[in-house]
Structure 1
Amino acid sequence: MSYQPTTKSDTIAQQLSTRIIRGEFAPGEKLRQDLIAREYGVSQVTAREALLRLASQGLAISLPRRGMCVTPIDKDAIEELRLMRHALEPLALERSVPYLNPAQIAEIEHLHEACNAAATAEDWEEANRGFHMAIIAGCHMPRLVSEISNLQLLYARHFKARYSDKWRRRDDPDHAAILSAIKARDAARARTVMQRHLMRFS
């Protein structure tokens, strides 16, 4: 399950978030409302709404005398992100497993294969984020899913900054084990594997 933009400002926010994750905007870089409005051909009000959405996702922050800037990456924020993922994702997965339908499971399998076949760090990150969101699509807890979606965005940025240069194509045995547990409708095993999987995140 992924966030679907509903307004022009939502669409711009989504595109800007992708650019931030890819490193097109550096941590601490100013996000000029007038330039964004001009680039996307929208009013400054619409650009401002897009920036506020980025702020709500934790990708932008308003700084004194600088305005809206890309949120810096710091150790405390990364640790908070790690702890929140450990708390929320296994819970959402356990609640999701019994309710995933065959089409959703097929999509999870497709995303697992896409992760294993990814030729670049960017391709892997996109497929990985899709996998992590797809496996919780059956939990029927929209607030929880929304929070995890934001955490996934922030993780993607951390991954890009820290691991992109070191990335190598690889199969993911944890993803395979999670998929196997989902197919067996074994929610407890899926949760245990997810907890182990997230221990590798730092």
Structure 2
Amino acid sequence: MLTRTEQCANQLRGNILQGRFAPGEVLSQRQLARELGCSPIVVRESLRMLENQGLVENVPKWGTRIVPFDVDRLKGLFLVREALEGMAARLVCSRRAAVDFAPLLTQAQALDRLFAKPPADAGQLATEHYVFHSAIDGLCGCTELVETLARVNLQQLFLASTQLVDFARVRQPSRWHLQLVQALAGSDPEAAERAMREHVRKGLEDIAVAAPPPPVAGRSGTTTSPTRRQALTPLVEAGS
């Protein structure tokens, strides 16, 4: 059973990934406590958990804020992910005899259909993609690698989602995700790693293609950007 702090952290993580906060937005712990129906102490502990996951950061004299978007950081996460997830793919292929690939094949086919006709909610597609890759990582048999990739992929999911990407502009090869799973289930671990590395590099290219143009500076020199703050859903008390 989740603790109150874990429940709060999960709720805040979901709100962050759904774009209910703007990148760089400073968070009021008292306001979050009121909106989520929990104590400021629980909120503070939850934010520490999210800081460890790379979604928020503590800024001296300012407090806790949502991690601001940084294109160089996003590129760096893709580089790290390419190396680590390439190794995960190699490990999955190496232990293929012990892996049930049927669920992955189903997820891959569903993702390929989503990319062929992207939903209006880009966050849905990004989340499904995150779940798919997390499932692959979880099959590699290395706990340390799985935990590290979970943190990297979560940060990448958030930073990519802040770009408000238009996946309708992305053109992926037919059966792109299905082919990746087939490589993982094949007999060549090196080929599986190459396939994953190519897959991750294509992801970075897709973000570059689907991202909106930079914000336009106004007369005052400030830039305009969408307002993303929305009301938060209060936590449900355990047992209620």
Could you say which structure has the higher helix fraction? 1
Corresponding residue number in structure 1 for 2:143: 142
Q: What are the equivalent positions in structure 2 for 1:22-37 lying under 5 Å apart?
A: 22-37=18-33
- The match for 1:96 among 76, 92, 99 is 92
Cα deviation 1:122-142 (Å, max 9, x = unaligned): 221121111111112222221
Query: In the TM superposition, what is the alpha-carbon distance from 1:74 to its structure 2 partner?
Result: 1.2
Give 2:81's aligned amino acid: R
Query: In the TM superposition, what is the alpha-carbon distance from 1:201 to its structure 2 partner?
Result: 3.3
Deviates more, 1:135-144 or 1:45-54: 135-144
Corresponding residue number in structure 2 for 1:152: 153
Corresponding residue number in structure 2 for 1:167: 167
Query: What secondary structure is seen at the aligned counterpart in 2 of 1:201?
Result: helix
Q: What are the equivalent positions in structure 2 for 1:48-197 lying under 5 Å apart?
A: 48-99=44-95, 104-118=100-114, 119=119, 120-162=121-163, 164=165, 166-168=166-168, 173-197=175-199
Corresponding residue number in structure 1 for 2:10: 14
Cα deviation 1:30-70 (Å, max 9, x = unaligned): 12211222222222221111100111111101112211110
Contact kept in structure 1, 2:137 and 2:149, CA below 8 Å: no
Cα deviation 1:140-184 (Å, max 9, x = unaligned): 2212111111111111122222252x2128665432221112233
Give the total of aligned pairs.
Answer: 197
Query: What secondary structure is seen at the aligned counterpart in 1 of 2:202?
Result: coil
- The TM-score, its normalising length taken from structure 1, stands at 0.86
Aligned sequence identity (%):
28
Distance in 1 (CA, whole Å) between partners of 2:12 and 2:96 is 31
Which protein is bigger by CA-based radius of gyration?
2
Query: What secondary structure is seen at the aligned counterpart in 2 of 1:199?
Result: helix
- The TM-score, its normalising length taken from structure 2, stands at 0.73
Give 2:167's aligned amino acid: W
Distance in 2 (CA, whole Å) between partners of 1:139 and 1:154 is 20
Query: What secondary structure is seen at the aligned counterpart in 1 of 2:176?
Result: helix
Deviates more, 1:42-51 or 1:172-181: 172-181
Aligned in 2, Cα 1:200/1:171: closer, same or farther, shift over 3 Å?
closer
Query: What secondary structure is seen at the aligned counterpart in 1 of 2:101?
Result: helix
